[in-house]
Amino acid sequence: GAGVSQSPRYKVAKRGQDVALRCDPISGHVSLFWYQQALGQGPEFLTYFQNEAQLDKSGLPSDRFFAERPEGSVSTLKIQRTQQEDSAVYLCASSPRGPHNSPLHFGNGTRLTVT
């Protein structure tokens, strides 16, 4: 596709359920980021992949959060045993080269609501 695609667009989960959020970056993009955005706030960094390698996962808030990009393209963010504080918009972004030298292209996000 022409841009970064995220699915699902909206997800409602009951507390304690596991969820999986998908990101399809722009084809050929090396860098992939996940961010979490609470209402009225700027995004917060979660994790960074360069191709299939997860180079920084320091932003993942707990061990319930797990991200992978096994073939260096599609990425999945998994949240186990969801809690109400996990409710947020989860944004994926990709860039064609390393993380510092090119603009990021963002998807429209997945809005997760935990009830």
Contacts to other proteins by CB under 8 A: 4, 33, 35, 40-45, 48, 55-56, 58-59, 91, 93, 99-109
Contact yes or no for 58/73 (Cβ under 8 A): no
Within 8 A by CB and 6+ apart from 40, the residues are none
CB of 102 to other proteins, least distance (A): 8
- Please say which residue, 50 or 80, places its beta carbon nearer to other proteins: 50
Contact yes or no for 23/77 (Cβ under 8 A): yes
- Please say which residue, 5 or 17, places its beta carbon nearer to other proteins: 5
CB of 111 to other proteins, least distance (A): 8
CB of 81 to other proteins, least distance (A): 26
Give the position of tokens 């504080």: 85
Helix (H) or strand (E) segment spanning residue 21: strand 19-24
Contact yes or no for 31/97 (Cβ under 8 A): yes
- Please say which residue, 12 or 16, places its beta carbon nearer to other proteins: 12
Amino acid, single-letter form, for residue 62: S
- Please say which residue, 39 or 63, places its beta carbon nearer to other proteins: 39
